[in-house]
Amino acid sequence: MGNLLNISSSPHVRDKSSTQSIMWCVILCLLPATVVGIYNFGLKAIILIIACVATCMLTEFIWQKAMKLPVTVTDGSAALTGLLLALNLSSTFPVWMAVIGSVFAILVVKQLFGGLGQNFMNPALGARCFLMVSFAGKMTSFTYDSITGPTPLAIIKNAVKNGDTSSIADILASGDGQTQATTSVINMFLGNTAGTIGETSAIAILIGGIVLIARKIISWKIPVCYLATFAVFVLIFGGRGFDITYLAAELCGGGIMLGAFFMATDYVTSPITPTGQIVFGVLLGILTGIFRIFGASAEGVSYAIIICNLLVPLIEKVTIPVPFGKEGIKDGK
């Protein structure tokens, strides 16, 4: 009897990681970007972050209680959604609008589709796009050092659009010609510039992203393929030739770093197949490049990720590995 084998149903591969541990690890890895955002934008940033996180957690708790569902608010997913949404907003964004966006993220994008694991798009990005459509003026108003003006990406885009052949360093140093909103690529890398609370510091985001990859919370495939594809696209179609400074500004500006490491890699809305993750990253890079270079806005990360979220079922269908010992489907069988 001692030699009997116990046979059970799948899954047979187990891991000590839980949803709760993963979510809180991601939140911890967002702390560098959060701290820089608070340092740059002060009390307004703190209030907005608290409002978004608290509203997301409260909305999930109330909904699950009302629907007599298991309360999972302690797993960290709602808190992470709130933090990501806040980091995607300007520090001057009205709190009551942020509360509406937080409710939309949890109730409409997440819970109405079945809760965690069932949502078809990233809740924070879904809410951000909802707010962009509903309150476009407030979503595109940015302030840094008490100066209201365009983001560095907007300054660059307007200059390139107007045929300015000056170097990117000179374009950023001169600002938009109307305000004192001037900066440099090094400031974009460090985070001393206008933008949303969590997207300004590329180095802070990179620190958190590298930790996630090192701890194998996320795979390197999506962020690396995303950023590499976008870089190639910018060099080919950006209109500035092989301008490394221009490329650095595009990579450090806007939400591409935050999106690549913390939103495109969302377990629920990204492919699980290795090849699918590469395809997903390449599509993200192409779409972001199209939106930024040929679109009306200087940004485009949110829409690129959401569109690719919708393509995930198709990507997984065409990239699913062939079972061991099988040559593939033949004659439709």
Question: Both 257 and 286 in a single domain?
Answer: yes
Element (H, E) at 147: strand 147-148
Q: Which of 81, 110, 139 is the endpoint of a domain?
A: 139
Q: Which of 96, 115, 139 is the endpoint of a domain?
A: 139
Among 52, 59, 28, CA closest to 197: 52
Question: Both 291 and 159 in a single domain?
Answer: yes
Could you report how far apart the first and last alpha carbons of the chain are, in Å? 42
Tens-digit pLDDT profile for the chain (333 aa)?
456 555 554 444 455 667 788 999 999 999 999 999 999 999 999 999 999 999 999 999 999 999 998 888 888 899 999 999 999 999 999 999 999 999 999 999 998 888 877 888 899 999 999 999 899 888 887 776 655 667 888 888 887 777 777 787 877 877 665 555 567 788 888 888 878 899 889 999 999 999 999 999 999 999 999 999 999 999 999 888 888 988 998 999 888 999 999 999 988 889 999 999 999 999 999 999 999 999 877 788 999 999 999 999 999 988 887 765 555 555 545
Tell me, yes or no, whether 34 lies in a domain.
Answer: yes
Taking the CB of residue 117, how many other CB atoms lie within 10 A of it? 11
Q: Which of 110, 139, 168 is the endpoint of a domain?
A: 139
Residue 147 pairs with which residues in a beta bridge? Answer: 144
Q: Which domain holds residue 293?
A: 151-318
Question: Both 184 and 221 in a single domain?
Answer: yes
Distance from C-alpha of 116 to C-alpha of 76, rounded to nearest angstrom: 11
Question: Both 79 and 160 in a single domain?
Answer: no
Question: Both 71 and 170 in a single domain?
Answer: no
Question: Both 135 and 198 in a single domain?
Answer: no
Instruction: Specify the number of domains making up the chain.
Output: 2
Question: Both 135 and 253 in a single domain?
Answer: no
Tell me, yes or no, whether 79 lies in a domain.
Answer: yes
- Name the DSSP letter for residue 6: P
Question: Both 129 and 175 in a single domain?
Answer: no
Tell me, yes or no, whether 324 lies in a domain.
Answer: no
